[in-house]
Structure 1
Amino acid sequence: MTTSAQPIPSGFRAPDGMRIYAVGDIHGRADLLQEKLAAIEAHHAAHPGVDALRVFVGDYIDRGADSCGVVEMLIELGRRERCVFLRGNHEAYVLDFPHNPKIMTAWRTLGGIETLASYGIAASPEPDPAESLELANAFERSLPESHRVFYRDLLLSYEAGGLYFVHAGVRPGIPLAAQSVADRTWIRHEFLNHEGLFEKLIIHGHTPATEPEIRPNRINIDTRAFASGRLTCIWLEGGNFGFV
């Protein structure tokens, strides 16, 4: 279902001639992603006449049952449609784990066991250092090269017109062009509690909410899909937005 169009907060605008579809944190829910991609296709077919760009704000993996399937689906989508894939904080674990098995202690609490299972690697609930090393080696062998490239090439942020897409948010008082990797993938309270406008409207995920949060300076599209069953997609075109 698509809400009726509303003005983009604070007068920010999407680039002319473009409709942007931005999808929130997926967290291994390939079933929800498949449904949402079909809904985006239907929405775009019903409202033709502009180019479509699909932006995904990160956290494709962990928690849900099919992280591998999510990544495979996104890779295939990127081959036929114009897409931007951003890096979330969870993707950092995938990039680091083969070279730093010690992070399994933290990663398992965030859904790393489920991600490994989706790649065909079984792990105990609390792997010790020896098992973590075995898991890291198995993951390195099992990870398809196309997935390795996908994780490696994820962007930290994306700007389009008056819109700035990022996983977690930005640090107030710092120009958007100077934002750190850590803040763009991890920041919460300093960003969420800031009431002033930024250079652009920030579209982000990372912090789960029951409903999309619409503020004068930001829109949060993380609706805890892995647990709630609600994967949020916002569309933005000209000076308006709505939800698919």
Structure 2
Amino acid sequence: MALITLRHERHAAPAGARAGDRPLYAIGDVHGCYDLLHALLAWVARDSAERSPGVAPVLVLLGDYVDRGPDSAKVLAALSWLVRSAAITARLLEGNHEAMFRLFMERPAAHGQWLRYGGSETLRSYGVDPPTEEEPDAAALTALRDRLFDVMPVAHHRLLERLEPMVRVGDYAFVHAGVRPGVPLRAQQRDDLLWIRDEFLEHPRPAETIVVHGHTWASERPMLLPHRIGLDTGAYETGVLSALRIDRDGLAIVQAVAAG
């Protein structure tokens, strides 16, 4: 396992925002970075036990667990264990990369483009060699999917089928990409929750709640604004995975940082 250090900082919570009665945490886009995820899960366990002993915390993961990084299979194995743990209430959001992964598994000939967006790294994490051709044909893509089916644990399939589109806790809404401005949260469309970018990011107040999201990153620093918190810090490229704790004392950002 790579050497990981933790970086901590505190911020004031958005004015008047409530977060519920239980310890509340979130983790940004993992993208196959298992070592960083492991470090943050260990921190959540320690921190919640110290601050609220005997109370199971709520942990929301913001999607994009697979692709780009080297260890997607290990990440899904860890999350499959996490959702069965009585020590924590894990809520797992669907990201656009999980959506692409599932489409490839269902109709490989029509969704081979997944390989170009990090899918090849996911295949390698399961011990499946990606195709050498730049544009594999339908038969090659179907054979590739079949090899993946042979080695991918059933628990990983079930996990991908049970991901949530949105989680609401108090005055916070957790989504993968963002929300469509002007549309009530209950009426948001799945495609927007998974894919929206500029229309959400550029809006001064896109929702009636504070939106915690991933999907878009600009640097290894989270985006902290009065109306939204962006936790994607490009872990697969920067080596930094970010977590958030929300409580009555404010916001805590904790980042797992890979050495070197």
**Aligned-pair CA distance for 1:69:** 0.2
Q: 1:56·1:85 contact (CA, 8 Å) conserved in 2?
A: yes
Work out the CA distance in 1 between the residues paired with 2:110 and 2:235: 25
Q: TM-score scaled to structure 2, two decimals?
A: 0.88
- Mapping of 1:111-130 within 5 angstroms? 111-125=118-132, 126-129=134-137, 130=139
Alignment-mate amino acid for residue 67 of structure 1 = S
Matched positions, count: 242
**Aligned-pair CA distance for 1:36:** 1.2
Q: 1:32·1:230 contact (CA, 8 Å) conserved in 2?
A: yes
Task: Specify the SS of the correspondent of 2:35.
Answer: helix
Q: 2:182·2:206 contact (CA, 8 Å) conserved in 1?
A: no
The answer to which of 219-228 and 50-59 deviates more is: 50-59
Q: What's 2:90 paired with?
A: 83
Q: What's 2:52 paired with?
A: 48
Task: Specify the SS of the correspondent of 1:97.
Answer: helix
Alignment-mate amino acid for residue 71 of structure 2 = D
Q: What's 1:2 paired with?
A: 8
**Aligned-pair CA distance for 1:102:** 2.9
Structure 1 position 106 matched with structure 2 position 100:
no
**Aligned-pair CA distance for 1:197:** 5.3
**Aligned-pair CA distance for 1:19:** 1.5
Q: What's 1:73 paired with?
A: 78
Work out the CA distance in 2 between the residues paired with 1:103 and 1:9: 44
Of 12, 20, 27 in structure 1, the residue corresponding to residue 17 of structure 2 is 12
Task: Specify the SS of the correspondent of 1:79.
Answer: coil
Q: What's 1:200 paired with?
A: 209
Work out the CA distance in 2 between the residues paired with 1:240 and 1:197: 22
Alignment-mate amino acid for residue 226 of structure 2 = P
Alignment-mate amino acid for residue 76 of structure 1 = W
The answer to which of 145-154 and 191-200 deviates more is: 191-200
Q: TM-score scaled to structure 1, two decimals?
A: 0.94
Alignment-mate amino acid for residue 12 of structure 1 = A
Instruction: Give ranges in structure 1 of 5+ residues lacking alignment.
Output: none
Q: What's 2:246 paired with?
A: 236
Work out the CA distance in 2 between the residues paired with 1:106 and 1:10: 43
Q: 1:91·1:151 contact (CA, 8 Å) conserved in 2?
A: yes
**Aligned-pair CA distance for 1:148:** 0.7
Of 160, 171, 190 in structure 2, the residue corresponding to residue 162 of structure 1 is 171
Work out the CA distance in 1 between the residues paired with 2:46 and 2:216: 28
Divergent runs of 4+, >6 A: none
Q: 2:200·2:206 contact (CA, 8 Å) conserved in 1?
A: no
Work out the CA distance in 1 between the residues paired with 2:107 and 2:15: 44
Structure 1 position 215 matched with structure 2 position 225:
yes
Cα deviation 1:137-170 (Å, max 9, x = unaligned): 2222322111111000000000010000000000
Q: 2:29·2:64 contact (CA, 8 Å) conserved in 1?
A: yes
Q: 2:180·2:206 contact (CA, 8 Å) conserved in 1?
A: no
Q: CA 1:243/1:155 → structure 2, altered by over 3 Å: closer, same or farther?
A: same
Task: Specify the SS of the correspondent of 2:36.
Answer: helix
Structure 1 position 29 matched with structure 2 position 33:
yes
Structure 1 position 152 matched with structure 2 position 161:
yes
Q: CA 1:47/1:239 → structure 2, altered by over 3 Å: closer, same or farther?
A: closer
Task: Specify the SS of the correspondent of 1:159.
Answer: strand
Q: CA 1:174/1:138 → structure 2, altered by over 3 Å: closer, same or farther?
A: same
**Aligned-pair CA distance for 1:82:** 1.1
Task: Specify the SS of the correspondent of 1:9.
Answer: coil
Q: Larger helix proportion, structure 1 or 2?
A: 1
